[in-house]
Amino acid sequence: MIRLILLLALATLTFCKTGQKALRNRSPMVELQTGACFGFCPVIRLMVRNNGMVVYEGKQFAERQGLDSFQLAPEELRQLREKVTAVNLWQYPDRIKSEVVDAPYATLTVFQDGQKKSVLGSIDRPAPLLELESMIKNMAEAHNFQVTQGVNPKEPAKASRQEVIVKLKPEVNAGNWIAQFSEFKLLLVRRISAENMWIVAYDSQQLDEKAAIRLFKDSEGVLEVQANQMAEDRE
């Protein structure tokens, strides 16, 4: 009987230790949150757990909106953990004042032994803080999460972007012409001819190729519209 009790106690202790370790591995290690600017700076959150799982949240001007996640490789996790330790956020004030008025702010947060420390600042923070932010962003980029460059919500997203070639009448201003289609995500990519010929990008989630060509052909000032064969070849 005593032996059975001891075995049960040992099993319970082992289970508790295993559960505590699993909980510790899922707990957050470091988090980066970026703020807005006067342009299209991506507003995102990246929270790295101790097991290497990264929780991503795209809030504004981010290519990927909403919640997602990815897993760091063991070597990536080791490097990040070493960097977090070396930077030692605990030595900095909670807010670092900035003289740059139009730059985005970012908040770095570390978690340790049930406590957390956050530091808010901009692009003129001390170098170690900027390096830690860059490391987290670069790891996200390496896993196909675009976090260093924002997107204009009025322009077609890369994933659904298609192109046509539009030839306008010589007297037509391309910027004024495209402004009439404000309900669609369009972009004047570049002028490709002295004859007022332009590559125009559109969002295939809003318009298919036939609809885009028909829309542009029916507008005043357009001489010719065709699919951009070079763009199709690149795909």
Indicate whether 57 belongs to any domain: yes
Q: What is the mean pLDDT of the chain?
A: 90
Residue 55 inside a domain? The answer is: yes
| 221 and 122, same domain (yes or no) | no
CATH number for position 52: 3.30.1560.10
Q: Which residue has the tokens 């951009």?
A: 228
* Residues 29 and 123 reside in one and the same domain: yes
Which stretches of the chain are DSSP H helices?
2-26, 74-87, 127-142, 174-179, 209-217, 229-234
| 226/214 Cα distance (integer angstroms) | 10
Q: 120 and 163 in one domain?
A: no
The 10s digit of each residue's pLDDT in 20-48 is 555 567 899 999 999 998 888 999 999 99
Let me know if residue 15 belongs to a domain: no
On whether residue 152 sits in a domain, the answer given is: no
Shared domain check, 179 and 122: no
Q: Give a yes or no: residue 133 inside a domain.
A: yes
Output the pLDDT for position 14.
58
Judge if 47 and 110 occupy the same domain: yes
Mean pLDDT of 134-160: 92
Q: Among residues 109, 142, 175, which one ends one of the domains?
A: 142
- 34 and 111 assigned to the same domain: yes
Position 235 confidence tier, pLDDT thresholds 50, 70, 90: very low
What does the block give as tokens for 61? 């001007």
Domain that holds residue 184: 158-234
pLDDT digits over 75-102, tens only? 999 999 999 999 999 999 999 999 887 8
Phi, psi of 199, rounded to the nearest 5 degrees: -90, 125
Q: Phi and psi for 12 in degrees, rounded to 5?
A: -65, -40
CATH number assigned to the domain comprising residue 176:
3.30.70.920
Structure tokens at 172: 């037509």
pTM of the model as a whole: 0.71
Q: Please, what is the angle between helix 74-87 and helix 127-142, to 10°?
A: 170
Is 113 in the same domain as 31?
Answer: yes
Given a cut of 90, whether residue 197 has pLDDT beyond it is yes
35 in the same domain as 137: yes
Asked if residue 12 belongs to a domain, the reply is no
User: Do 46 and 134 fall within a single domain?
Assistant: yes
Contact 33, 137 (CB under 8 A): no
The number of folded domains in the chain is: 2
